[in-house]
Structure 1
């Protein structure tokens, strides 16, 4: 089965039926129902119940839904998984992921629960939040192969990392990420590419700043991210627009693939293109086809 092209992933708290329903009805390509940071400790049990009830009642064939579980060091991961695997989430998001060993550990737990529920083994994908601790960020420089076959994507995040590092802020006066967070972002991008999985750009926390969101989404696309997380439905339309190949980009891609069918170098206007550009063009055309463009 062809994987859907996902440009936007909308976070929503797992303890609110109303907000989950709103997210599922939004223009987001995928939804991340959150059992972790957006749920107060006293509401964790309710969030599991609400998430299972709402996802269990959704129509088949809808948009992909991930569930972000609590990190392994909380002792709640197994409880979260046991509550939601039976309602067939498209994937699970593992926060504060420290290593490939944690991905393997999560995969083993998913395999057992899939067997319990009579689900296809390996049906539940994994996305990690890859840069929430200093150790995890550094380890991304030596990314190992995924032994589970479940890893779908890697999301980088700067907010928890700021807390880990004791930073006052992760952005400069102009609103751009400071160097430590640019480094973490780059580590995630390189690791995702090395592993052949989707690189997901972090949330833009000021949902009342569409210009800033658009600029940051364009920067992510420019650098190689193919999706971006959102924290508010108002951000989704902009992310989808920016992450969708333009007619001009597709015209360029078609020219490149046509010109380089049987040669390694060609000229388009005053610029030379080669096989590296052909790979970029092919990725653009594949993505456009997945989006029905």
Structure 2
């Protein structure tokens, strides 16, 4: 791995591409119940928590997935009307990256959750936009996990695919999951896309640019219990380095930027 500056400059290359595109929810779902357009001068602490550390303090070293990054505050920057989650070689051998959550600040059961994002092209990364249950009372994944967007970092081929998933079942190692994916002719990193789920009682659907590519219903995971009607979930955005889906960290992995134009959530009243 080549040596990197302790902290890269915030990315300005894509500013001209950050003009927001309307989603299918605009004009149909009314005002969002949660929205951050990232137009302020800095991250809104009333909406977001900045996670720090490598997970060891939670007995989850490597965040339970052999991830190599250490999350820190400086890796999340709001500039030019967008959120930038950066991954870079920090001092020594430490890899810095960013993870944000709305835990304790916003959660919702059902509705449309969407974000307009530009994924990094680098191999060795695992960008994600996902949900976890608020006020967690049980060991993961007994109360469920909903992954709106994940991308593997193993190969050039994997950069043409994104996936959505749910996790459920018994506690690890007897947990299980259900996933859907969509592949396009060119890498998703080539341009901005809107990644979304529409979540109603007993059903979750996945979308890219308002094109549905997956659906799971309660009956699809039987005889496992469907935990996704029990409580509201909060939002997580993160850029992991390496790990189960990130693959090997190679010379081109760092530095990297995951860009977010907006995050919006609507209630379920307008969903079909």
TM-score, normalised with respect to structure 2 = 0.27
In proportion to residue count, which structure has more helix?
Answer: 1
Greater Rg by CA? 1
TM-score, normalised with respect to structure 1 = 0.25
In proportion to residue count, which structure has more strand?
Answer: 2
